[in-house]
Amino acid sequence: MMIMGHRGAAAIEPENTLLSIKKAMDIGVDAVEIDVHLSKDNELIVIHDSTLDRTTNGTGPVNNYTLSELKKYDAGKGECIPTLQEVMELTDKKVKLVIELKEKGTERIAVEQIKKNSFEDNVYVISFWHRLVKNVKEIDSNIKTGVLMVGCPVDTSIADQASADALVMKYNFVDAEFLELSHKNGLKVFIWNIDTPDLVKPFADIGVDGIGSNNPGILVDYFGRSGI
């Protein structure tokens, strides 16, 4: 079982910040999930939305600003918006990194940074844009990937089409039948997001491969530090 902190520990500290990621690591997660967008000068920026408005004191599209301009904004509790490079340096392969590509054009830059930091065995690259997932595999087949989705498909061909290693699914669309089919076809199934203790057991019982949470302490309390 892989315990994942969603956007770090988003229920406790400002999401997608180094503070939030460090909190998740201190709690004892096995992996941290983050989101990346491109800045105006093509740096991979760790932020969920395509605009600054919800999570920072800035306004407007992320890609209207250079990295140095973005660094001036407060992402919560005085935290700067981090880069993917800064997150890699912080996590330092102590936990796995689950990188969600939020927009087209991020895949090659993400792969370059993964390889530059020798993170190939330490990441999953995921996206709702399944073409981006396929592109990552075509650039480097050694990097593990996952397709994000809401809903339960008829079969696992949606992952096969993207050459993905995992399905990353909203928890309430996963059942034992689909999990068995996925495992039969060599695919892992990760779910998001379990944020209350009462929801953990049913998915632990059917044997999902990983669970994400905004409050990952509830998963660590249930499973202990599981290891991967």
pLDDT in tens, 24-68: 999 999 999 999 999 999 999 999 999 999 999 999 999 999 999
Confidence of residue 225 (pLDDT cuts 50, 70, 90): low
How crowded is residue 95: how many other Cβ atoms within 10 Å of its Cβ?
Answer: 22
Mean residue pLDDT of the chain comes to 97
pLDDT value, residue 188: 98
* Domain membership flag for residue 83: no
* Domain membership flag for residue 20: yes
Catalytic option among 37, 48, 130, 183: 48
pLDDT value, residue 24: 98
Q: Check residue 12 and report its DSSP letter.
A: T
Q: Catalytic: 48?
A: yes
pLDDT (tens digit per residue) in 75-112: 999 999 999 999 999 999 999 999 999 999 999 999 99
Task: Give start and end residues of each alpha helix (H) in the chain.
Answer: 18-27, 67-70, 84-91, 107-116, 130-139, 157-161, 176-184, 200-206, 217-223
**Total number of domains in the chain:** 1
| CATH number of the domain that residue 214 is part of | 3.20.20.190
* Domain membership flag for residue 45: no
Domain range holding 183?
A: 2-33+93-223
- Residue pair 85/113 in contact (Cβ under 8 Å)? The answer is yes
- Residue pair 187/156 in contact (Cβ under 8 Å)? The answer is yes
* Domain membership flag for residue 44: no
Give helix 107-116 / helix 84-91 axis angle, nearest 10°: 30
